[in-house]
Amino acid sequence: MTGEMKRGTFVFSIDIELAWGKVHQKRMNLHNLSRIYRKVRRNLGLVTPLLEKYRVPATWIILGHVALDHCECVNGKPHPQMPRPEYSWLKEDWYRYDPCSNLKVAPAWYGKDIVDNIVSYVKTSSLSHDIACHSFSHQMFGDPGCKRELAEAEVKKCIEIMEKEYGVVPKVFGFPRDSIGHIDVLKENGFIAFRDMIPKLYPCLEMDRTFLIAVKTLFSLFVQGLSYYIVSSPHVVVPRLVNGLWAVPGSLAFGEKPMVPFELVTLKAIKGIKKCVAEGKIFCMYTHLQEFTWNKNAIHSLERILNHVHQEERKGNLCVKTIQQIAMEKQFLSNIRGFQTAKGGFLGNPNS
């Protein structure tokens, strides 16, 4: 419609992966991890009241293994039915830290209690939340060592668990470590959208231990850290169609940063929200449930950000949506345009 005011859009997603986000590390203190991740359970009770108070639905991106309450080794091998990656930088078995135990003994690796609470909350909330898939064991889909067979098994195993245990069939995918790959596998398994990586000048996702990659990673971290001190605006984004799926890029990873006060994280997020309002684009902020364990200021920072979102929404400047809602709306508009084209009708602005 001519003269129609464009509004910005706020998207918030929360990754649920527990210690599986660290399986690529060479040395981990398993006892300390269990102690730390016991505390993560309380974070859900801190975050969900804020979502309700400020009317912000979330995209909950859940790792399949976290939805288990136990697993067992077969002949000393965890999950022998799952294919293994062929990463050049990984010399040990991907499941080397899997305790083949249960939730009570190893709460860093099993989180069915957390997922139970999330699904129950989503089903009873007055908000339209979205439950998404984060693979089964946090594989890096964009790495050449993640073959198609592995990607298919990871996706199907997560869907199987979520459907069997909760009657939920995810339509949105969150790539572990923002490593994008095998989008065709997602399409074949019924997904309609994924959270894309933050647009970066200096990405540092490579895991190979080479001097060049180490230098690039340090430089990337320096540039990113500097952006907080000068409070430059995060990227605001627009969805794009990639191999039949809608990609919604991230704008800001909310959480503790090395040598960056949480106040600067908050200011950067608010600046991003203002920018998305001004440009009529999307500000997609994402986090991990454990971020509210490390720093006592995190939950207060989140409340400030959500309060700002709520105020802008009340003014009519901003709307709040999940990734699935954005994808469904885009698909609906695409179908309408296709119908108009077939009928020889007016297409309108293809970017609106």
Q: In whole angstroms, give the CA distance from residue 132 to residue 261.
A: 30
Query: 12 forms bridges with which residues in the sheet?
Result: 285
Window from 132-146, 220-234, 313-327 with minimum mean pLDDT: 220-234
* Range of weakest confidence among 39-43, 104-108, 221-225, 301-305: 221-225
What are the residues facing 287 on neighbouring strands? Answer: 14
Q: Supply the pTM of this predicted model.
A: 0.90
Question: Under DSSP, is residue 123 helix (H, G, I), strand (E, B) or coil?
Answer: helix
- Assign a CATH topology to domain 8-201+237-255+284-295+319-343: TIM Barrel (3.20.20)
- Give the position of tokens 């802008």: 312
Question: Residue 117 has what pLDDT?
Answer: 98
Helix residue ranges, H only, the chain: 30-53, 112-124, 148-166, 183-188, 211-229, 262-279, 291-294, 298-314, 323-343
For 54-81, write each residue's pLDDT tens digit. Answer: 999 999 999 999 999 999 999 999 999 9
3-state secondary structure of 70: strand
